[in-house]
Structure 1
């Protein structure tokens, strides 16, 4: 086993010691701001919806911190971009900023995941908060897939945001990107199963 592999596996026991959110609450925190964003946009427009989205991501981070005493990387990065581009959207009254946020966010995720592989680092276990247990070969394959998928979403968002109205873009964000992401995640099940290892085996390898 290489030094890089040992290093990446060593992070697993510490990650499992962190207190985790209830799965139902985690889904509610992840989807809640997006659903409220959609509802408020349909009633009051994109600028009010953006303001509510900004408040929503801060609230979800606060709840997550209050329960677990730590914050996952992806929600933090997402919240920062929502606040920056959402603030520009509201302040300048220009909805292009909140639309562009999606492109930048997914491009950053894709670049970070694939770029880290160049330095023999695995970021995806951190993203998933060690919710699954697979060997390093599996993590690398999964990293490439998710990285390229994020780039695909970024490109798709660019196409859609230039072709449709703001209301249609909001529908795409809620009813397009979300289902695509779920379908993609489900499609990774065979790869995960092929590379799955038991937590006990993972702990044993971390001592090599």
Structure 2
């Protein structure tokens, strides 16, 4: 029987692979946002060029993460698929709206899946994360309800920002705003984790 001899991936490497593509997109956009380039007879703005770079960089970083850790989350796989599809449409049609709408679609899908799970009395979040984060079922229900509200809110916020503000404002929201909001959300739920958490030692 084969055994997996891979060592646990270090937090630094994991963070670099997960956030590196986004930082690369931000850096390229910031450098090229006021410039245009002609490729194959077609003129592209800095946003499209940044997207051209972001898609393969994300694909490579996701592949590296999978090779090093041996697994990917559902969100990582879905994100990669949507980035390839909508990023490809953005470049092919030279229309940045597709790439911006991708964020709305991702959060809408996850809000919908979590809500469907609750309706079917199957908590997807608990099934996926229950082993890593032992918690009473009631805690998972409350966390899922809050995450549905969070994802729905982020989808709405993304629509408002990309439709009404500049490219720079949207890129800043995607690069810095979304991670900060997620971090604040997790910190705000620390009490829930503490209240409903299950100590594995208690089951021994």
Q: TM-score range by the shorter chain?
A: 0.7 to 0.9
Q: How many Å separate the matches in 2 of 1:129 and 1:33?
A: 29
Q: How does 1:88-103 map to 2 (within 5 A)?
A: 88-103=89-104
> TM-score with structure 1 length normalisation?
0.82
Q: How does 1:40-189 map to 2 (within 5 A)?
A: 40-44=28-32, 45-125=46-126, 128=129, 130-189=131-190
Q: Relative CO higher for 1 or 2, CA cutoff 8 Å, sep ≥ 6?
A: 1
Q: How many Å separate the matches in 2 of 1:114 and 1:102?
A: 18
Structure 1 portions without partners, runs of 5+: 1-17
Q: How many residues align?
A: 186
Q: Is the 8 A contact 2:18 2:62 kept in 1?
A: no
Question: Would the alpha carbon gap of residues 128 and 43 (structure 1) be closer, same or farther in structure 2, given more than 3 Å must change?
Answer: farther
Bigger-Rg structure (1/2): 2
> TM-score with structure 2 length normalisation?
0.84
Q: Is the 8 A contact 2:114 2:124 kept in 1?
A: yes
Relative to its length, the structure with more helix (as a share) is 1
Question: Would the alpha carbon gap of residues 26 and 133 (structure 1) be closer, same or farther in structure 2, given more than 3 Å must change?
Answer: farther
Q: Cα RMSD (Å) of the superposition?
A: 2.0
Shift >3 Å, 4+ stretches: 18-21, 125-131
Q: How many Å separate the matches in 2 of 1:176 and 1:168?
A: 10
Question: Would the alpha carbon gap of residues 119 and 21 (structure 1) be closer, same or farther in structure 2, given more than 3 Å must change?
Answer: farther
Structure 2 portions without partners, runs of 5+: 1-5, 33-45
